[in-house]
Amino acid sequence: MNTLLLVFLVGGANILAYGFIYPKLVQGHVKRLIISDLVLSLVLLTCVGATYSGTDTRFDFGLFSLNWFFATLLISFVFELFLFPWYQKRFNIQLPK
């Protein structure tokens, strides 16, 4: 149950950021996108840490379980793995070579 709640929290924050906040805030700049992603990750880690820090709560992913810190990073990475290419294509962001 905790894992599903964490997926909804982190996934919802990523979808909200990529769908509504980043188009207005980032405006196609790669550096702004990287900084905004770092800020989003810090906010998520702070929120989840405030709830689960100091507890032995484990988040089960089938084959393995993780603590709150690594579970938050993993879920955020997986969502960004799908959202970044969509965002890049939609707003024609060119990555530096």
Q: Is 97 part of any domain?
A: no
Domain total in the chain: 1
Q: Is 95 part of any domain?
A: no
Q: Is 15 part of any domain?
A: yes
Q: Is 39 part of any domain?
A: yes
pTM of the model: 0.89
Angle at 66 between CA 51 and CA 14, to 5 degrees: 65
54-77 pLDDT, tens digit per residue, is 999 999 999 999 999 999 999 999
Q: Is 23 part of any domain?
A: yes
Q: Is 67 part of any domain?
A: yes
Backbone angles phi, psi at 95, to 5 degrees: -80, 145
8-57 pLDDT, tens digit per residue, is 999 999 999 999 999 998 887 888 888 999 999 999 999 999 999 999 99
Please give the residue range of the domain that contains residue 33: 2-90
Q: Is 71 part of any domain?
A: yes
Give the chain as a 3 state SS string.
CHHHHHHHHHHHHHHHHHHHHHHHHCCCCHHHHHHHHHHHHHHHHHHHHHHHCCCCCCEECCCCEECHHHHHHHHHHHHHHHHHHHHHHHCCCCCCC
